[in-house]
């Protein structure tokens, strides 16, 4: 069994080092991620208030 080593708060930055080389993604993966991000942004812009949508279900048509 391995023993766990106690890491102090001020030593965290020394232990967890950022990657020196960025991860290279394939063009297909990159395009897919961009498409998903664009879709999420468009959905976020079209967001409807859930209370208003629920209330719209029970609105009675007005007679003119």
3-state secondary structure 2-59: CCCCCCCHHHHHHHCCCCCCCCCCCHHHHHHHHHHHHHHHHHHHCCCCHHHHHHHCCC
Average pLDDT in the chain: 83
pLDDT given at position 15: 72
Which are the contacts of 24, defined by CB distance < 8 A and separation ≥ 6?
Answer: none
Asked whether the whole model's pTM tops 0.85, one would answer: no
Average pLDDT over residues 30-46: 90
Q: Judge whether residue 20 has pLDDT over 90.
A: no
């Amino acid at each position: 069994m391995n023993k766990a080593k106690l890491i102090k708060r001020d030593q965290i930055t020394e232990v967890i080092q950022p990657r020196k080389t960025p991860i290279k993604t394939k063009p297909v993966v990159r395009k897919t991620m961009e498409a998903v991000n664009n879709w999420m942004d468009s959905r976020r812009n079209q967001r409807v208030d859930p209370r208003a949508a629920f209330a719209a279900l029970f609105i009675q048509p007005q007679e003119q």
